[in-house]
Amino acid sequence: MPLTEPVYYFAGSIRAGRDDVPHYNRIIAHLKKSGPVRTEHVGDYSLSLSGQTQFDDKYIHDRDLAWLRSANVVVAETTRPSLGVGYELAMATVYQIPIFALHRSEESSLSAMIAGCRNVTVIEYTDLDDALARLDHLLEGISG
């Protein structure tokens, strides 16, 4: 199904570690050039390991699933293992949303549950600019 305009859901670790925020921030900025990103806050440098403490966990869960359902593309940075990201990717599979996982394999192994999922396109990278160029090429393939 061709996309008219991409609406992105970006998934990246929050409570499992914030070391990759510079990557998240660059990915989100790149995605925003072609469409809205429902989860821009994931790339916010001020967001701590505690996440959005002004909201309770149920609110965050329900809000994020609503955002996920409103998206037509999921992009995840999966280098930092995260239960939340795994959950989001599983739900995106249930919702039949295309998933693109960017992963630095020299830093960690990607779970077989993600790497082996037919609904996930894995982009292994060492250079983020190269990964984003490959992502753009793959997105062109689903946008018409």
pLDDT at 2 over 60: no
**Backbone torsion region of residue 109, taken as left when φ is above 0, otherwise alpha when ψ lies between -120 and 50, otherwise beta:** beta
Task: Give the Cα separation of 117 and 47 in Å (integer).
Answer: 30
Task: Give the Cα separation of 29 and 21 in Å (integer).
Answer: 12
Which has more pLDDT, 114 or 49?
A: 114
Structure tokens at 61: 């869960």
At the top level of CATH, the class of 8-142 is: alpha beta
Domain spans of the chain, in order of start: 8-142
Most confident of 8-17, 19-28, 112-121: 112-121
What percent of the chain stands above pLDDT 70?
86
pLDDT at 53 over 80: no
103 in Cβ contact with 84 (< 8 Å): no
Give the pLDDT mean for 127-134. Answer: 96
